[in-house]
Amino acid sequence: MHIPRVRGKLLGRLLPPLLIVLGSLSPTLQASAAPLPTATLRDAHHASAMRHQEPEDLLLAMGWVNTHWEMQQSIDHGFGIMHLVKDPKHDTVAAAAQLTGRSEQELETDPTANVEGGAALLAQAQGSTRPASLTGWSPALVQLGGSLFAAQVFDALKSGASRTTSQGEKVVLAPHSEIPVSATSAVMTPATGNTPAKSSAAAPTPRETPMDAQREEPVLVE
């Protein structure tokens, strides 16, 4: 049986269309092998809220009060969105590491780990029960950061907040009109738990509690 050979001219005519077809397929093949997108801050808060049976918006409000959802180190040795502290008097970084199994470096630098650490500390302060309302978390918040911190968290919950972070992510905390005005003000009492009180003055300073009356940007150090 005679098998005809493809001559050079015919092969030259066939190759360009074949290469065009293969080239059109390559983006699809590359897309299928592309890495999964990095978890967003909203994902991190949602996952921690589910794990510890806590309101997601409560965690978002805590992060807003602490650093406006930025992963930076504060001047008072607080790390990340949840302001995990590591100094000679207070070490919530180590406490969070023990509760979560995360390394201290992760808790200090990784947003997902940092949010999980803060959620774990809140769960520890709350104990085995879970309040039916947001304001029911007040004692746990006071234990973590003092009554001023708790009042600021409830103020953020009541009014809501929205910001695009330095990483380009738009984070939105929806307002909760059911929060009573009385929950947004408090007598200054120091924290009794693992986290130091955010402030003991009549008005919070930006370094200690970034969300002041005008909601200015927090003063942080790189």
CATH assignment at residue 173: 1.10.530
Distance CA 56, CA 48 (A): 8
In a domain, 218, yes or no: no
Q: Which two tokens stand for residue 54?
A: 């806590």
- Domain that includes residue 72, residue range: 41-184
Q: To the nearest whole number, what is the mean pLDDT of the chain?
A: 78
Tell me, what's the pLDDT at 9? 52
Decide which of 74 and 220 is more confident: 74
* Residue 129: band (very low, low, confident or very high) from pLDDT cuts 50, 70, 90: very high
List for the chain the helix, strand, coil content (%; round to 5): 50, 5, 45
Q: Is residue 114 part of a domain?
A: yes
Give domain status of residue 118, yes or no: yes
The answer to the question of residue 178 being in a domain is yes
Query: 22 pLDDT exceeds 60?
Result: no
Residue 87 falls inside a structural domain: yes
Domain count, the chain: 1
Other residues' Cβ atoms within 10 Å of the Cβ of residue 142:
22
- Positive or negative, the CA dihedral 138, 140, 144, 146 is positive
Residue 160 located in a structural domain: yes
* In a domain? residue 191: no
Q: Average pLDDT for residues 163-185, to the nearest whole number?
A: 95
**Considering the chain, what percentage of its residues have pLDDT values greater than 90?**
62
CA angle 45, 50, 53 (to 5 degrees): 110
36 vs 52: CA distance, rounded Å? 25
49: left (phi over 0), alpha (psi -120 to 50) or beta: alpha
This model's pTM is above 0.85: no
pLDDT tier at 31 (50, 70, 90 boundaries)?
very low
Contact 45, 65 (CB under 8 A): no
SS3 assignment, position 32: helix
Higher confidence at residue 105 or residue 38? Answer: 105
Task: Extract the runs of DSSP E, i.e. beta strands, from the chain.
Answer: 78-79, 84-85, 161-164, 170-173
**Which span out of 25-29, 175-179, 193-197, 201-205 was modeled with the highest average pLDDT?**
175-179
> Is 216 inside any structural domain?
no
Sign of CA dihedral 116, 180, 67, 86: negative
Mean pLDDT value across residues 73-78? 90
